[in-house]
């Protein structure tokens, strides 16, 4: 038995002559935050898209809890336990916080949409949604309009929506983007606790956050993983310094 929750095996993807992913094998283990870093254009988003299912690899597999999910759609992967938060918010801004969480819970149940009255009155859905809101610290904000939340609270709501699916792994593309220093700090504390819920594969530019949070870091350059290791190992890695981090780190 291993504690690997999510992994890619030899993922490759080309756009014309450009190898955006070149034989990438990474894994995410129970309880950890594994950060993926690399310069712009390194292939981070392309990798995440293949893990989440919006892009098909030319070669290689994606496995979730030991199951090959490469042929599954994004929705099927979400139902299989892959919790994703998006770089661009997918929240319904005019709806309330609770309604957004309920939409997630409804999606998780696999049942079709009927009317708000029916959804709001469904005890099982409602408790699933309320539980997720409480978990991210938005328990008291259920009736607030999503548009009236701060940036950071919206990110937390996105995580709550993902939590309604009871994910076994999270994949996050730049959750700190646009949050500012104080917001980033808050989000860092939040993600720090969230890893107990489910491990997190984290693409993030904010190096303070990455170094504070990551149990392991993989460095992606020109579509290839050039190093994987702990924060200390990555800081000390000569190839990483040369390719990406510079001498000051
Ligand atoms: N759909 C696409 N068609 C053609 N080229 C693409 C496409 N998506 C990404 N690329 C290219 O692949 C490379 C990796 O992009 P991306 O994964 O977005 O990098 P990152 O997220 O690390 O900044 C870049 O050179 C980018 O221009
Ligand atoms: Mg990107």
Report the distance separating Cα 151 and Cα 122, nearest Å.
Answer: 29
- Secondary structure (DSSP) of 191-228: HHHHTTTS-EEEE-S-HHHHHHH-SEEEEEETTEEEEE
Is 62 within a domain?
yes
- 229 in the same domain as 213: yes
Q: Which residues pair with 63 in a beta bridge?
A: 7, 68
Pair 153, 95 in one domain: yes
DSSP 205: S
User: Of 142, 166, 190, which marks where a domain is finished?
Assistant: 166
Q: How far apart are CA 197 and CA 81, in angstroms?
A: 12
> How far apart are alpha carbons 69 and 52 in whole angstroms?
9
Angle (CA) 96 102 105, round 5°: 155
CA dist 1 and 22 (Å) reads 28
pLDDT at 145 over 90: yes
Using pLDDT thresholds of 50, 70 and 90, give the confidence band for residue 107.
Answer: confident
Residue pLDDT, tens place only, 74-89: 989 988 999 987 655 6
Best probe residue, ligand 1, of 46, 56, 87, 203 (max atoms within 8 Å of C-beta) = 46
Cα–ligand 2 centroid distance for 139 (angstroms): 32
How many domains, the chain?
Answer: 2
176 and 199 together in one domain:
yes
Full-model pTM: 0.90
C-alpha dist (Å) from residue 219 to 3, 10, 111, 212, 230: 22, 16, 40, 16, 11
Residues in contact with ligand 1 (CB, 6 Å cut-off): 15, 18, 20, 38, 40-46
**86 in any annotated domain:** no
Ligand 2 centroid distance, CA of 81 (Å): 23
- pLDDT for 1 beyond 80: no
For atom 7 of ligand 1, the residue with the nearest CA is 15
Least confident of 29-38, 73-82, 109-118: 109-118
Same domain membership, residue 117 and residue 54: no
Q: Domain with 186 in it: what CATH number? A: 3.40.50.300
Question: What's the whole-number mean pLDDT along residues 182-206?
Answer: 91
Is 240 within the bounds of a domain? yes
Residue numbers of the domain that contains 108 = 91-166
């Amino acid at each position: 038995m291993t504690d690997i929750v999510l992994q890619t095996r030899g993922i490759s993807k080309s756009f014309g002559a450009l190898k955006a992913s070149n034989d990438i094998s990474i894994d995410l283990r129970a309880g950890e935050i594994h950060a993926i870093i690399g310069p712009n254009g390194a292939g981070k988003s392309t990798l995440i898209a293949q893990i989440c299912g919006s892009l098909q690899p030319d070669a290689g597999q994606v496995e979730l809890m030991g199951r090959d999910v490469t042929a599954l759609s994004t929705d099927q992967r979400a139902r299989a336990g892959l919790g994703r938060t998006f770089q661009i918010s997918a929240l319904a801004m005019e709806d309330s916080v609770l309604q957004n969480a309920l939409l997630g819970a409804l999606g998780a149940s696999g049942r079709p949409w009927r009317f708000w009255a029916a959804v709001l009155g469904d005890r099982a859905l409602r408790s699933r949604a309320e539980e997720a809101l409480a978990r991210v610290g938005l328990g008291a904000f259920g009736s607030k309009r999503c548009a009236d939340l701060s940036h950071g609270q919206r990110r937390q709501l996105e995580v709550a929506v993902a939590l309604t699916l009871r994910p076994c792994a999270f994949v996050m593309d730049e959750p700190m983007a646009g949050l500012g220093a104080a917001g980033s700090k808050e989000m860092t504390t939040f993600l720090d606790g969230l890893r107990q819920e489910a491990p997190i594969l984290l693409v993030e530019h904010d190096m303070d956050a990455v170094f504070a949070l990551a149990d392991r870091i993989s460095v992606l350059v020109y579509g290839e993983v050039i190093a994987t290791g702990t924060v200390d190992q990555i800081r000390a890695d000569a190839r990483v310094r040369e390719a990406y981090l510079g001498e000051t780190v």
